[in-house]
């Protein structure tokens, strides 16, 4: 925000200095600036982080409102509990595999 303000004030100062007549401090911006497409900063940052290899691949096509309207609260709680159990199983499976790899490396297998 500070960079944009500084850039706009610099542009206004340059535009005011190039005119032969004295310009006021609050010179209206040209019509070109209002015609530029405005994109929220959140989506621009999201695209940037997605390019870094973020694992949120399901966010692009997952619609929470459709899921909420199509299922009951009981089903959503059941799904959440199932996801928690699956995540816990995956965690313990990874720990077990890491322990196996450490034992194999220690024994030289």
- Span 19-54, pLDDT tens digits: 545 556 666 666 665 566 666 556 666 666 666 665
- Residue 50 belongs to a domain: no
Q: Residue 13: how many CB atoms within 10 A of its CB?
A: 13
Provide the domain count of the chain. Answer: 2
Helix/strand/coil percent split, the chain, to 5:
70, 0, 30
Domain that holds residue 105: 73-109
- Residue 67 belongs to a domain: no
The structure's pTM equals 0.40
């Amino acid at each position: 925000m500070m960079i944009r303000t500084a850039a706009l004030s610099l542009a206004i100062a340059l535009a005011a200095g190039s005119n032969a007549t004295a310009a006021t401090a609050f010179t209206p911006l040209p019509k070109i600036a209002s015609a530029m497409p405005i994109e929220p900063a959140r989506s621009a940052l999201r695209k940037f982080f997605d390019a870094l290899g973020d694992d949120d691949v399901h966010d692009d096509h997952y619609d929470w409102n459709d899921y909420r309207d199509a299922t009951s609260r009981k089903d959503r709680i059941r799904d959440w509990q199932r996801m928690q159990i699956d995540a816990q199983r995956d965690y313990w499976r990874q720990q077990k595999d890491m322990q196996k790899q450490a034992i194999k490396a220690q024994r030289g297998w």
